[in-house]
Chain A
Amino acid sequence: MAFELPELPYAYDALQPYMSAETLQFHHDKHHLAYVDNGNKLLAGSGLEGLPLEEVVQKSFGTNQALFNNAGQHYNHIHFWKWMKPGGGGRKLPASLQARIDSDLGGFDKFREVFIEAGKGQFGSGWAWLALKDGKLEVMKTANGESPLVHGAKPLLGVDVWEHSYYIDYRNARPKYLEAWFDNLVNWEHVEEMFAAA
Chain B
Amino acid sequence: MTERHFETGTTVSTRIQQTFETLKSNGQMAFMPFVTAGDPDMTGTQKLISTLAATGVNLIEVGFPYSDPIADGPVIQSSYTRALNKKLTVHQIFDAVSELPTDELPPLVAMVSYAIIFRIGPKAFVESARDAGFSGFIIPDLPGDEAEEMFGVVREAGLDLIQLVAPTTPRERVWEILKACSGFVYCIAVAGTTGTRENLQTDLLDQLAWLRAETSLPLAVGFGISKPEHVDPLRNLADGVIVGSGIVRHLNEIGEGPEALDTALEAISTFSTSMVQATKPS
Mutual binders A and B: no
Binding site for B on A (CB under 8 A): none
Binding site for A on B (CB under 8 A): none
